[in-house]
Chain A
Amino acid sequence: MPEIHLPASGLAEEILPRYQDKKQGFHLVTFHLGEEYGVPIHQVREIIRVSGITMVPNSPSYMEGVINLRGRVLPVLNLRKRLKLAAKEIGKTSRIVVAEAGEKVIGLLVDAVSHVIRVAPESVESAPEEVLEIDTDYITGVGKLKNRLVILLDLEKLLRRENIETSDIEDQGGTHGKED
């Protein structure tokens, strides 16, 4: 394990602790959604192929459905839709990343899983303010690798209710649910 040096700017201090496993250092599982994204390896339980997704009606559009993970009913989030990226059909390389976010376990539908990488702490910085909006605080930083960038995601923030915009379908559910 290389020693971790915090940059003098201090920006990474806020970012790093969330991504640091005391013993393992700073490892990410990265996947593709056009750009390359990464989540801390200790949050990832497993990566599975896409099959047998049951659609759930009257749920937000980014809710892909539920899958059976060894008897457990696991919700699957379409990460492209959640991040408001252009939609893409499920293909051969598509995977579901089973990840823990706080108390919850969810599946993240991604185009392809790249690999596990180690990011040197000094190469992480927060995303430029100019590209962030109020409701995008789930992007916690950018890892600068040799010739590519990895966008670091905070899953808990990604799932937080107030961050999830009310989708058209939820609106519909609202009028239905008035009586409930």
Chain B
Amino acid sequence: MEYSELVKDFLDDAEGHLGVFDSALLSLEKDNYHREVVVSTLGPLHTLKGNSGMMGYESLKVYIHQIEEVLKKVLDQEVAIETVIDALLDSANVIREVLQAIGNNPSSNPDLTDHILAIQKRLSGTDGGTARREIDLTSYLGTKTDTIKVDFKRFDDLLNLVGELVIYKTRLNQIETQMRGVIGSKSVAKELSGGLELMGKTIAGLQEGIMRARMLPVLHVFGKFPRMVRDLARPQEKEVELVFEGEETELDKTVIDEIEEPLLHIIRNAVDHGIEDVKERVRTGKDRRGIITLAAGQESNYVIIQVKDDGRGIDFDRVREAAIGKGLLKADDVPDKEDLVSLIFGAGFSTKKETTDISGRGIGLDIVSRNISKLNGQITVDSVPGRGTVFTIKLPLSLAIIPALMVEAGEEVYAIPMSAVDESIKVREQDIHVINDHEVIRFRERVIPVVRLDEFFNIPGNRKNRFYLIILGRAEKRLAVAVDRLRGQQEIVIKPLDDTFGKSYGIAGASVLGDGRIVLIADVIAFWNKTLEQRKRGSEEQSDPASGPLFVRAREQEV
């Protein structure tokens, strides 16, 4: 996103906040003091202040801060509203003028020192209230905006229609191919092909246009965290700076909404467990201030979001101890790093002995892993002791239309979201081994569990000696799903399945193919749960009470 677009966003947003402030002031002037009215102005002003700071309008930020101070004094009843209402009304006009100036020249950075001094003077009583300032009348109209607010539902409806259009187009293409077989390459057939091709391009453009319209910069999410990080770090005697990279990267709004909570847990973990307190950092020769970097970027059809911290890194010895304590590992197990990393994504896992306000209750990373899978994404962790930890999340750009791998088992076709797939390999029956009644395969020097699609979904049919394995990735773990045949990759429109008859376990939704056939979309979480279940059956710990309610919630959120 261009800087000028950011400015536009800022201005659109700012006018909304200023509008709230304005109408509150007018009501205060008319009806005198109402505590709620004053309080109602604080939120918008605070956001405006924050945004101004983020956009580099330092002076505006300081000015708004002064206004906040005035309002706080009013709330504390140190100052009567009557004595400052004029100054406040003036201040709204000042902000209005500043916004207008920025609108006229996005690179300008108005200096408000005089106004700041004036408002301080008024507060301190050294200025008994001056005459109202003259204001340019056109500033009341606000800056012209290029954006409109639209109910998101309308975009959903549009996208659905486009999805159907894509399906019909594919159908027409198939009919065209059939027709060529019948009438040969007469000119009418050529014209039809030409027409279809043009229509296809237009539809693709339409689809992309609507997808773009649903996109928001990831800053919408990132921007929510600086305050949280500060408030979390303060009582732990930590200094933490949150740095953004690539915050202009755009994501579908549905993904934006769903990514908030996973990021919250990861960042919270970085502050609580990753970054050391000031003393320890100084002792180990690090900068006093820890840095957490939130980075976003696009890679083909995916968005990569990283949370990096320069803290102490994951203490794998403690992870191992905690896992043994919880019975997840036996004392004589020799887990490798990958096993340990996947343990921290397990339910109810925490190495922290004391609990902070919202962290350390042993919930968090399991939710993260689950939510990411639900979004058809993947999460991986890399950690170097003493140097820090990097969480990398890979997500599809959109939740509505995703690339999927079409696979066959028996007579059935299933779609597996590409974002969950690492790769696919061709194997023979004798490559599969059985350990403790569970099928596994040796893959890149690792032994990974195999889930058979036909078995999982009770699909009838005869197995062949040669078949395919789809390797799924989740954090450091790998899982192979056995299918009879691969049909290739395809963009599919996800439609939710009606749940009148209950949710069908293992099915994330359905999609209509070009030939009108319906394929079901496999819910990769279910495959993971199957292996998890096998693992659990082997351990004594059957259920984790702490994780119960959260799982219920996670399920309700599923579409």
Contact = CB atoms under 8 A, between A and B. Distances in A.
Interface of A: 52, 54-60, 62-63, 66-68, 71-75, 77, 104, 106, 159, 164, 170, 172-173, 176-180
A58 B555 contact: no
B506 A176 contact: yes
B532 interface: yes
Contact of B554 (A68, A173, A180): A180
A177 B516 contact: no
A54 B509 CA distance: 12
Interface in B534-559: 543, 551, 554-555, 558
A91 B347 CA distance: 49
A68 B517 contact: yes
A112 B506 CA distance: 33
Given A52-B516, A176-B529, 5 more contacts: A57-B506, A58-B507, A73-B498, A164-B501, A180-B529
A71 B457 contact: no
A180 B525 contact: yes
A77 to B, nearest CB: 7
Interface residues of B, number: 39
Contacts of A58: 457-458, 504-507
Nearest to B555: A180
A56 B459 CA distance: 10
Contacts of B505: 58, 172-173, 176-177, 180
Given A106-B498, A176-B533, A54 B525 contact: no
Contacts of B347: 179
B172 interface: no
Contacts of A72: 495
A104 B555 CA distance: 22
Given A52-B518, A179-B532, A57 B504 contact: yes
A51 B473 CA distance: 37
Given A71-B164, A176-B530, A180-B529, A60 B501 contact: yes
B287 interface: no
Contacts of A55: 412
Contact of A67 (B518, B532, B533): B518
B539 to A, nearest CB: 14
B502 A173 contact: yes
Interface of B is mostly: mixed
Contacts of A177: 503, 505, 555
26 contacts: A57-B506, A58-B505, A59-B501, A62-B501, A68-B516, A68-B517, A68-B518, A71-B164, A71-B167, A73-B495, A75-B498, A75-B500, A75-B501, A104-B498, A104-B500, A106-B498, A106-B500, A159-B500, A173-B502, A176-B506, A176-B533, A178-B533, A179-B529, A180-B505, A180-B551, A180-B558
Given A66-B497, A75-B497, A178-B543, A54 B507 contact: no
A67 to B, nearest CB: 7
Ranked nearest first, the 3 interchain pairs of A and B with the lowest CB-CB distance are A57-B457, A173-B505, A58-B505
B519 interface: yes
A66 B510 contact: yes
Contacts of B558: 180
B400 interface: no
Query: Which of the listed residues B167, B505, B519 has the most CB atoms from chain A within 10 Å of its own CB?
Result: B505
Nearest to A179: B529
B526 interface: yes
B529 A56 contact: no
Nearest to A51: B516
Nearest to B412: A55
Nearest to B504: A59
B369 to A, nearest CB: 12
A26 B347 CA distance: 57
A54 B510 contact: yes
Contacts of A172: 505
Nearest to B458: A57
A34 to B, nearest CB: 22
Contact of B497 (A56, A159, A178): A56
B516 A73 contact: no
B84 interface: no
Nearest to A159: B500
B365 interface: no
B554 to A, nearest CB: 7
Contacts of A180: 505, 525-526, 529, 551, 554-555, 558
Contacts of B500: 75, 104, 106, 159
A57 B507 contact: yes
A73 B555 contact: no
Contact of A54 (B167, B520, B529): B520
Contacts of B543: 178
B512 A71 contact: yes
A177 B532 CA distance: 12
A170 B551 CA distance: 18
Nearest to B499: A75
